[in-house]
Chains A and B, each alone.
Chain A
Amino acid sequence: MALLRCRGLRKEFGGHTVLDQLDLTVTEHQVVAVIGASGSGKSTLLRCVNLLEELDDGTIELDGEDISDPRVDPDQVRRRIGMVFQAYNLFPHLSVLDNITLAPRRVHRRGRAEAEAQARELLDRVGLGAKADAYPDRLSGGQQQRVAIVRALANSPRLMLLDEITSALDPELVGEVLSMVRDLKADGMTMVLATHEMGFAREVADEVCFLDAGRVVESGPPEQVLGEPTQPRTRQFLRRIIEAGRL
């Protein structure tokens, strides 16, 4: 069953078309990797799905509900979607534990003890139990990003949106974050990830979407899109990636 269905999405920024008649369907437990050059609309797509940007046209359905209807309360929608950002965006004035328990306590009205127990359990599972009381600035980039993922998971989302979550990381820290995403897939989490990590997209994604100028140029299983692309734009993009030594 389709968990997320985007139809004919259109988004413009000051006369510049970022998303152009974009269609995307994600079924439950599916992992979709969105690839494409910088400025191809990957981040904008994810931000639109999370209603952080207003659409200029098209509809987005989550669980069969039209969430692009202006009468829908965006806060209610975002509670069901977890989002992780390129720059982690942890709250610097809150400890790791408070970062994670903020939404469970304030949005879902759970008690402090219950929320903290859940947060500590999630942190232990990703090997960050000892960092619960640290402030974000004291953590490495990889640790911060893992905390950001845990923070999104603490809301028990139906869908996770990962926006180039390894792009700001030192190469040796990328692995720890990607292995967390791998575990999420194993747990059956539905995910849409915008990524530059082609190797990882090939390994973890069920479907790869190549975006160019705000349109899905080509999509399908990773071995097909990344291995035997049919579209010239896709081939050109992948050739550049290979030249840069990223595949």
Chain B
Amino acid sequence: MTLLDRVPSEAQLRRTAYRRRQTVYSVLVAACSTAALGTLLVIAVTGAPGWDRVRRAFLDPAIARDALPTVLSGLWLNVRLLVCCAFGALLLGLVIAVLRTLRGPVFFPVRALAAGYTYTFRGLPLIIVLYLLTLGVPGLRLQGMPPVLVLGGIALVLTYGGYLAEVFRAGIESVHHSQLAAARSLGLTHRQTMRHVVLPQAVRRVAPPLLNDVVALQKDVGLVSLAGPIDAVRAAQIATAQTFNYTPYIVAGVLFVLLAIPLIAVTDWVTLRAARRQSGG
């Protein structure tokens, strides 16, 4: 007898019917409660005494249309800076984390330097690093000084590299020591063990927090505008100053959220794929 011609028992049929009824019931309850909460929120916001004023100041469609091109061109700067800084910070973080795992007296200065770096740049406010690099460094009047935008990017890489290094380090330490023993027992050197056994597992495990930091970086790249370059938020600020209307900020905010969605989706996809490949065969 194959699985297909098996007739479910009376008890199983009753259970299936009951579960189906329960599912329909839960969906109905969820729909009703969502609708009720939504209605309440809309009434509370639009019914507020100042709603008309706020709507004119923050949600003016005409102003949004006018501001969109300049905010978008500012956002393009954010995107480019984000891509460069994210790669730079990930690379720097990984290198620092690996340097901190080195053993042996020869590497003491390297370890100390790496540890000192993470302590310093995780403690130092980003704005101060930005000012030091974009205002202080050009003040040295050295030959071949890179433009302010690059210096601002370096400040971002230095600050986020510190955070990412700690995330990488947590990942490296989360790999069980029995994996190290297995790798070393096969004759792999420390470097080969890191490269082929520890880091692949560590990076996969911390991919979600790493990308979380990249999403945070996406918002902070805008701070380079403090040194001059015009990013999306700065463009919105200029537009707001011209119209005395805050709608451009809302435009920029919406664009930032839209930019983050694919990044977050990629994070989820990467995590899911790694999990499925390891357990799904």
Give A109 to B277 CA distance when docked, in angstroms: 27
Q: Are B201 and A107 in contact (CB under 8 A)?
A: no
Please give the distance in Å from B54's CB to the nearest CB on chain A: 52
Q: Are B186 and A151 in contact (CB under 8 A)?
A: yes
Please give the distance in Å from B280's CB to the nearest CB on chain A: 8
Of B182, B183, B192, B197, chain A has the most CB atoms within 10 Å of the CB of B182
Please give the distance in Å from B270's CB to the nearest CB on chain A: 13
User: Which residues of chain B have C-beta atoms less than 8 A from A151's C-beta?
Assistant: 186
User: Which residues of chain A have C-beta atoms less than 8 A from B187's C-beta?
Assistant: 75-76, 78-79, 103, 107, 155
Q: Are A52 and B278 in contact (CB under 8 A)?
A: no
Please give the distance in Å from B273's CB to the nearest CB on chain A: 12
CB within 8 Å: A-B pair count: 74
Nearest B residue to A84 via CB reads B185
Give A102 to B187 CA distance when docked, in angstroms: 10
Q: Are A107 and B192 in contact (CB under 8 A)?
A: yes
Name the contact of B278 in the complex, choosing from A82, A102, A135 (C-beta under 8 A): A135
Q: Are B196 and A102 in contact (CB under 8 A)?
A: yes
The reply to whether the CB of A211 lies closer than 8 angstroms to some CB of chain B is no
Q: Are A89 and B179 in contact (CB under 8 A)?
A: yes
User: Which residues of chain A have C-beta atoms less than 8 A from B279's C-beta?
Assistant: 135, 137-138
Q: Are A106 and B188 in contact (CB under 8 A)?
A: yes
The reply to whether the CB of A92 lies closer than 8 angstroms to some CB of chain B is yes
Name the contact of A52 in the complex, choosing from B181, B188, B189 (C-beta under 8 A): B181
Please give the distance in Å from A194's CB to the nearest CB on chain B: 14
Please give the distance in Å from A94's CB to the nearest CB on chain B: 8
Query: Interface size class for chain A?
Result: 20 to 34
Q: Are B201 and A152 in contact (CB under 8 A)?
A: no
User: Which residues of chain B have C-beta atoms less than 8 A from A152's C-beta?
Assistant: 185-186
Known: A75-B187, A137-B278. A85 touches B178 (CB 8 A): yes
Q: Are B186 and A102 in contact (CB under 8 A)?
A: yes
The reply to whether the CB of B184 lies closer than 8 angstroms to some CB of chain A is yes
User: Which residues of chain B have C-beta atoms less than 8 A from A85's C-beta?
Assistant: 178, 181-182
Nearest A residue to B197 via CB reads A91
The reply to whether the CB of A93 lies closer than 8 angstroms to some CB of chain B is yes
Name the contact of A78 in the complex, choosing from B179, B185, B196 (C-beta under 8 A): B185
The reply to whether the CB of A189 lies closer than 8 angstroms to some CB of chain B is no
The reply to whether the CB of A81 lies closer than 8 angstroms to some CB of chain B is yes
Name the contact of B184 in the complex, choosing from A76, A78, A92, A138 (C-beta under 8 A): A78
Q: Are A50 and B185 in contact (CB under 8 A)?
A: yes
Known: A75-B189, A78-B186. A93 touches B204 (CB 8 A): yes
Q: Please report the total number of B residues contacting A with Cβ < 8 Å.
A: 23
Which residues between 212 and 227 of chain A lie within 8 Å of chain B, taking CB atoms? none
Give A79 to B280 CA distance when docked, in angstroms: 32
Please give the distance in Å from B215's CB to the nearest CB on chain A: 25
Which residues between 32 and 70 of chain A lie within 8 Å of chain B, taking CB atoms? 47, 50, 52
User: Which residues of chain B have C-beta atoms less than 8 A from A78's C-beta?
Assistant: 184-187
Please give the distance in Å from B194's CB to the nearest CB on chain A: 12
Known: A106-B196, A137-B279. A89 touches B189 (CB 8 A): no
User: Which residues of chain B have C-beta atoms less than 8 A from A9's C-beta?
Assistant: none
User: Which residues of chain B have C-beta atoms less than 8 A from A47's C-beta?
Assistant: 181
Name the contact of A93 in the complex, choosing from B181, B182, B192, B201 (C-beta under 8 A): B201
Q: Are A93 and B188 in contact (CB under 8 A)?
A: no
Q: Are A93 and B200 in contact (CB under 8 A)?
A: yes
Contact with A along B144-182 (1 / 0, CB 8 A): 000000000000000000000000000000000011011
Give A54 to B280 CA distance when docked, in angstroms: 39
User: Which residues of chain A have C-beta atoms less than 8 A from B197's C-beta?
Assistant: 91, 102
User: Which residues of chain B have C-beta atoms less than 8 A from A19's C-beta?
Assistant: none
Give A75 to B182 CA distance when docked, in angstroms: 12
Known: A106-B196, A135-B277. A89 touches B182 (CB 8 A): yes
Of B185, B196, B197, B280, chain A has the most CB atoms within 10 Å of the CB of B185
User: Which residues of chain B have C-beta atoms less than 8 A from A155's C-beta?
Assistant: 186-187
Please give the distance in Å from B87's CB to the nearest CB on chain A: 23
Q: Are B204 and A135 in contact (CB under 8 A)?
A: no
User: Which residues of chain A have C-beta atoms less than 8 A from B281's C-beta?
Assistant: 134-135, 137-138
Give A151 to B186 CA distance when docked, in angstroms: 8
Give A52 to B185 CA distance when docked, in angstroms: 8
User: Which residues of chain A have C-beta atoms less than 8 A from B182's C-beta?
Assistant: 83, 85, 89-91
Known: A85-B178, A102-B196, A106-B196. A92 touches B278 (CB 8 A): yes
The reply to whether the CB of A178 lies closer than 8 angstroms to some CB of chain B is no
Give A135 to B184 CA distance when docked, in angstroms: 21
List 6 interface pairs A-B (beta carbons < 8 Å), by A numbering. A79-B187, A103-B188, A106-B196, A135-B277, A135-B281, A151-B186
CB within 8 Å of A: which residues of B?
178-179, 181-189, 192, 196-197, 200-201, 204, 274, 277-281
Identify the 8 closest CB pairs spanning chains A and B, nearest first: A79-B187, A89-B182, A103-B186, A138-B281, A83-B185, A107-B187, A78-B187, A137-B279
